[in-house]
């Protein structure tokens, strides 16, 4: 039986290699310091490349890393050396495009930090326990986005922020009666 493709981590670093948003799905880096050391190694290995137009691929510590840069943000997706690069590429492209949609094209560190909740929700929509769930940017952004579904839709089909807004609306209505 073939196992589904697995992602070990998704990293969003700034132009100096500092964390903006990261999520690990593997025990390969058990401590925070080992995670930071890996992030530094990834950044150091890739900082001299020009991965702005196309997605680039590199190998590091028995891992395949696909990455792309936008302004002062560096996007990385890591998989094991046995993973298919095209799948990792589609995960990265889905993340990059969804973040671009949600940030309305302003893909920079300041905007990313202002919308960190949306970026982490993107991570959660794309990957669950390392398993790829979704790579279509419009689907991801639609599930994460605040105004993307009908407010009368069942709670199970709403995002967290939409569900909270609906609950707030119902509470306000009940208090005004």
Q: Does position 151 have pLDDT exceeding 80, yes or no?
A: no
Q: What is the pLDDT of residues 62-84, one digit of tens each?
A: 999 999 998 899 999 999 999 99
Nearest 5°: phi and psi at 22? Answer: -140, 150
Report the pLDDT value the prediction gives residue 158, as an integer from 0 to 100: 53
Report the pLDDT value the prediction gives residue 10, as an integer from 0 to 100: 97
Q: Does position 157 have pLDDT exceeding 60, yes or no?
A: no
Q: How far apart are CA 3 and CA 141, in angstroms?
A: 27
Q: Where are the domains of the chain?
A: 7-150
Q: From 2.60.120.560, 3.40.50.1260, 3.30.450.60, 3.90.1150.10, which CATH number describes the 7-150 domain?
A: 3.30.450.60
Q: What is the pLDDT of residues 102-126, one digit of tens each?
A: 888 888 899 999 889 999 999 999 9
Position with higher pLDDT, 112 vs 159: 112
Return the bridge partners of 69, or none.
74
Q: How far apart are CA 37 and CA 125, in angstroms?
A: 27
Picking from 6, 10, 3, 4, the residue whose alpha carbon sits closest to that of residue 80 is: 6
Q: How far apart are CA 127 and CA 56, in angstroms?
A: 20
- Which stretches within the chain are classed as H helix? 32-46, 85-102, 109-114, 116-126, 137-144, 160-176
Computed over every residue of the chain, the mean pLDDT equals 86
Report the pLDDT value the prediction gives residue 11, as an integer from 0 to 100: 96
Report the pLDDT value the prediction gives residue 146, as an integer from 0 to 100: 54
- The answer for residues whose C-beta is within 8 angstroms of residue 57's C-beta and 6 or more apart is 64, 65, 66, 67, 85, 88, 89
pTM above 0.85, yes or no: no
Q: Does position 5 have pLDDT exceeding 70, yes or no?
A: yes
């Amino acid at each position: 039986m073939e196992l589904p493709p697995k992602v070990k981590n998704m990293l969003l670093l700034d132009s100096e290699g500092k964390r903006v948003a990261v999520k690990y799905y593997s025990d390969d880096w058990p401590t925070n310091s080992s995670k930071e050391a890996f992030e530094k190694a990834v950044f150091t290995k890739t900082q001299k490349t020009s991965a702005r137009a196309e997605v680039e691929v590199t190998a590091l510590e028995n891992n395949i890393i696909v990455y792309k840069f936008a302004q002062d943000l560096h996007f990385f997706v890591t998989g094991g050396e046995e993973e298919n690069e095209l799948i990792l590429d589609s995960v990265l492209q889905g993340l990059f495009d969804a973040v671009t949609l949600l940030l309305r094209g302003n893909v920079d560190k300041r905007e990313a930090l202002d919308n960190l909740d949306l970026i982490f929700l993107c991570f959660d929509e794309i990957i669950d326990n390392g398993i790829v769930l979704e790579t279509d940017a419009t689907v991801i952004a639609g599930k994460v986005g605040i105004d993307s579904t009908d407010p009368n839709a069942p709670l199970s089909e709403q995002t967290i922020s939409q569900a909270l807004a609906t609950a707030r609306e119902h509470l306000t209505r009940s208090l005004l009666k």
